[in-house]
Amino acid sequence: MLLFTISNIAPLIYYYLRPFIKWFLHQLTRLCELQRLCYGAKLGSHRTRQVERSLQQSKFPAIKIISRELDLQVEYCNFEEFNVLVKRAVKVVMQAKRIKPQVHPDFGRLFGQCVEQIWGYRKLLFEIERLRTTQYDCENLDHERKLSDLWALLMPNNRLESRITKQWQIIGFQGDDPKTDFRGMGMLGLENLLYFAREYNDAARHVLSHSLHPTYGYTFAIVGINLTSMAYKLINSGKAKTHFYNVSKRAINITHFHRFYCYLFFEFDRFWVESNPRNIMDFPLIHQRFETNISIELEKENTAFKTNLVVESI
């Protein structure tokens, strides 16, 4: 009970003491909080998360305004516009904090990297959500082509007999027409599967071969879509920030998300086999254990999942 009380009171005490702590450290170092973080905190999640928290708690009107502007514009701006916004944010903060570039030449670059990561992550959220809410449309030729490419990449030696066929069940769809399986995750599920099959073809076919095993096999595509849902939840909740802030020094984009997904699929397959399942009915329990393990890893400040998907044997 005592520990519970202390853990609840400590953040409140810090909230009220924070301005005095900042003032004291500023007097001691002659540096503002953002400078101390950019110069002293380790590159990656450790630095960027603290900078993000500092910006959220800032009482400077100019910093609040530029933060809101970034939030409003980041969904719609292209890459060039995003870079312009980042540069303007750095300039606004330096002016608000009275940081002279000639005296502190490295601050703009270091702080700019954090801004790119923070709002790059938020921009990625919008892009992922657009794909998730875009339903598979069999009248859309681009959607149909991507589905055909998925088959060709996974089953290069087997010709697809027709658009609607039981062959789709070989690669783990539930029925004769895969479009019905994409309802939950929309085009995001297909884009993830296609990226895995295209960019890590050996690993994807290695995983597919396990899914076809007579004893511990599973539905490859359906499991893949479930892992898309898992990746979506992790990034949407903010848990995945640790990984993304550590793997990219600059703006985070959809490619980083696809690679994160590929890591999850490859590692889940290994975890599945090592769990020695009785049959597919063990999937919910094993999937939950896997998600818990990933969440625990993401709580560690240095976590960065590497997509060097080494296939030892097929």
- Nearest to 173, CA basis, from 240, 126, 121, 226: 226
**Domain-located, residue 84:** yes
Task: Say yes or no to pLDDT of 13 above 60.
Answer: no
- Nearest to 124, CA basis, from 225, 260, 252: 252
C-alpha–C-alpha distance, residues 236 and 185, integer Å: 14
Q: What is the pLDDT of residues 15-41, one digit of tens each?
A: 444 554 454 444 445 588 999 999 999
Q: 125 with 147, same domain?
A: no
**Domain-located, residue 311:** no
C-alpha–C-alpha distance, residues 305 and 259, integer Å: 9
Q: For residue 223, what are the contacts with CB-CB under 8 A and spacing of at least 6?
A: 172, 211, 265, 268, 283
Q: 227 with 173, same domain?
A: yes
Q: 189 with 111, same domain?
A: no
- Nearest to 200, CA basis, from 76, 307, 77: 307
Q: 101 with 165, same domain?
A: no
**Domain-located, residue 306:** no
**Domain-located, residue 305:** no
- Nearest to 261, CA basis, from 178, 204, 186, 181: 204
Q: 103 with 222, same domain?
A: no
- CA dist list (Å): 84 to 35, 64, 115, 260, 273: 22, 18, 12, 28, 48
Residue 160 token pair: 């697809």
Count structural domains, the chain. 2
What value, to the nearest 5°, has the Cα angle with vertex 141 and ends 137 and 145? 100
Mean residue pLDDT of the chain comes to 89
Task: Say yes or no to pLDDT of 312 above 50.
Answer: yes
- Nearest to 45, CA basis, from 264, 238, 236, 291: 238
Confidence of residue 279 (pLDDT cuts 50, 70, 90): confident
Confidence of residue 311 (pLDDT cuts 50, 70, 90): low
**Domain-located, residue 303:** no
| Beta carbons within 10 angstroms of residue 3's beta carbon | 7
Residue ranges making up the domain that contains 289: 141-298
pTM over 0.75: yes
Q: 47 with 79, same domain?
A: yes
- The kind and range of the H/E element at 195 are helix 186-199
**Domain-located, residue 239:** yes
Q: 163 with 252, same domain?
A: yes
Q: 44 with 157, same domain?
A: no
**Domain-located, residue 308:** no
Domain limit, last residue, from 88, 104, 132: 132
Task: Say yes or no to pLDDT of 6 above 70.
Answer: no
Q: 145 with 237, same domain?
A: yes
Domain limit, last residue, from 132, 155, 171: 132
Domain limit, last residue, from 132, 149, 173: 132
**Domain-located, residue 261:** yes
Q: 156 with 271, same domain?
A: yes
pLDDT mean over 233-255 = 94
Q: 191 with 220, same domain?
A: yes
Q: 260 with 114, same domain?
A: no
The pLDDT value recorded for residue 250 is 81
Q: What is the pLDDT of residues 177-217, one digit of tens each?
A: 999 999 999 999 999 999 999 999 999 999 999 999 988 89
